Amino acid sequence: MSLKTPSAHPDVAAGRPGRPASRLSPRALLRAPHSGLIVVLVLVAVFTAVQAESFTSSQNLLNVLRQISVTAVIAAGLTLLMTAGGMDFSMGSNAAVTVSVGATLLHDGRSTPVAVVLTLLLATLIGLVNGLVVTFTQVAPFVATLASAMLLDGVALLVLDGESITIGRRMWALGNDKLLGIPCLCVVAIPVLAAIGLAMRFTTFGRDAFAMGGNEHVARLSGINVVGRKLALYALAGALAGLAGLMLLSRLGAAAPNTGGLQLQLTAVAAVVIGGTSLAGGHGTVVGTVLGVVLLGVVANALNLLQVNSYYQYVVTGGVLLVAAVVNEFQRKSAPGR
């Protein structure tokens, strides 16, 4: 059957016309996804490179990559979770617990594989508990995971009991070696980002996240197992937080009180939001998140190199977040189909 009626007229009032033919006009470029973010990133990088020669040294760039790898892994999990309309404020604190528990296990003489497996399991379990609380109590994810963040920060401090625990040279390679000229931390982070990015675009699992974030009722009625998907997403976020914790531990070589925690979490949230992922769910890209993570990392590094008072770092990071959020909102409003 085929219907031919005048309602087959294009929806002029609601629809959007085809974009102008030229794809390279400045306007079209501005419309391109993440263009604003890329411009800001390039500006910051060029400015810093001109002001401080050491910025472009390979040593410095590798350092930046190491620093952002941990945030990137957390941000990757958060991007997927937030796209699905969820939120996990406890990933940084989950990482902090992993750092302290992992260091204690290694210090107590457990073998590295055992410590890795145990901490990852623990982190996944914490994520799953978050998921269970969120799905079965109807408490807002923001509130539930903020509570667990504070709780886990306390647990991490209790495990360390106020002391630093060193792990010597164990796991040193992960944190400090290079593979084919790339820091091992990056070698771990990049596949994670790629996997999440590909999953969001090319798998039903990822598309379910978009559907749930866009409209949970519709997703449920369409036959998506919303509860199962949510639990899986929170557990995945937990597992990635654990992985980030191990990466952090290997880079620092010791667990000190207040490593990771809410501060790490807020940086990751900032990166995800800068990348254009919607806090309300339904929109999100890993590419944006990567750009957000890189931008924050480069800004922090630039402030270091330019010997700006470290207190300004917070001010600048906050400013970058605000500007990026405003730009994203403008871009979204002018996007087609709005």
Partner 1 sequence: MTPRSAPAPAPVVRVRGITKSFGGAAALKGVDLDLYPGEIHALMGMNGAGKSTLVQVLSGVRHADGGTIEVNGRAHSGLTVRKARRLGIACVPQRRELAMGLTVAENVMLGDLPTRGRVVRWRAVRDEARAALSGLGMGIDVERVAGTLTVAEQTMVEVARELRRGGRILILDEPTACLSADDADRIRSLVRTLRDDGVAVVYISHYIDEVMAVADRLTVLRDGAVVTSAPAAEMEPASLVRSMVGRDVVSQRPERPAPKDDSGLSVRGLSHGRAIQDFTVDVRKGEIVAVLGPAGDAQSRLFDLLSVRRRPDAGELRVDGRSVPFGKVPASLAGGLRCVTGDRRTLGLVQGMTVDENLMLAGDRFARRRLHRRTELARRAAPLRAGYGVVALTGNPPVGALSGGNQQKVLLGKWLETEPVACFLEGPTNGVDVAAMADIHTLVDDLASRGVAVLLASSSAEEAMRLADRVVVVSAGRPVAEHDITAITRDELVATALGGQPQ
Does residue number 336 form part of the binding site for partner 1 (CB under 8 A)?
Answer: yes
Binding-site member from 2, 59, 307, 309 for partner 1 (CB under 8 A): 2
| Closest to partner 1 by CB, 1 or 180 | 1
Cα angle 6-9-13, degrees, rounded to a multiple of 5: 125
Quote the least distance from Cβ 239 to partner 1, whole Å.
20
| Closest to partner 1 by CB, 230 or 251 | 230
Quote the least distance from Cβ 129 to partner 1, whole Å.
25
CA dihedral 127, 131, 133, 139 (to 10 degrees): 120
SS3 254: strand
Binding-site member from 25, 57, 164, 204 for partner 1 (CB under 8 A): 204
Cα angle 118-124-126, degrees, rounded to a multiple of 5: 105
Q: What are phi and psi of 300, to 5 degrees?
A: -60, -45
| Closest to partner 1 by CB, 142 or 205 | 205
SS3 307: coil
Q: Which stretch binds partner 1 (CB under 8 A): 202-210, 230-238, 264-272, 316-324?
A: 202-210
Single-letter amino acid code for the residue at 300? A
Burial class (CB in 10 A: 0-12, 13-18, 19+), 136: exposed
Contact set for partner 1, span 9-38 (CB under 8 A): 9-20
Q: Which stretch binds partner 1 (CB under 8 A): 201-209, 231-239, 293-301, 319-327?
A: 201-209
| The token pair that represents 82 in the structure block | 């937030």
| Closest to partner 1 by CB, 16 or 23 | 16
Does residue number 186 form part of the binding site for partner 1 (CB under 8 A)?
Answer: no
| Closest to partner 1 by CB, 191 or 332 | 332
Q: Which stretch binds partner 1 (CB under 8 A): 54-62, 177-185, 221-229, 240-248?
A: 221-229
Residue 179 belongs to what H/E stretch?
strand 178-179
Binding-site member from 140, 221, 308, 326 for partner 1 (CB under 8 A): 221
261 within 8 A of 97, measured Cβ to Cβ: no
Name 201's Cβ contacts closer than 8 Å, sequence gap at least 6: none
Q: Which stretch binds partner 1 (CB under 8 A): 142-150, 161-169, 203-211, 323-331?
A: 203-211
Q: Which stretch binds partner 1 (CB under 8 A): 113-121, 139-147, 187-195, 197-205?
A: 197-205
Does residue number 337 form part of the binding site for partner 1 (CB under 8 A)?
Answer: yes
**HSE toward the beta carbon, residue 299, CA cutoff 13 A:** 23
Single-letter amino acid code for the residue at 55? F
SS3 46: helix
| Closest to partner 1 by CB, 28 or 150 | 28
CB atoms inside a 10 Å sphere around CB 197: 19
| The token pair that represents 193 in the structure block | 């980002």
Contact set for partner 1, span 258-317 (CB under 8 A): 282-283
Single-letter amino acid code for the residue at 57? S
Quote the least distance from Cβ 208 to partner 1, whole Å.
8
| Closest to partner 1 by CB, 278 or 313 | 278
Single-letter amino acid code for the residue at 85? G
Q: State the residues that interact with partner 1 by CB under 8 A.
A: 1-20, 201-207, 210-211, 214-215, 217-225, 282-283, 336-338
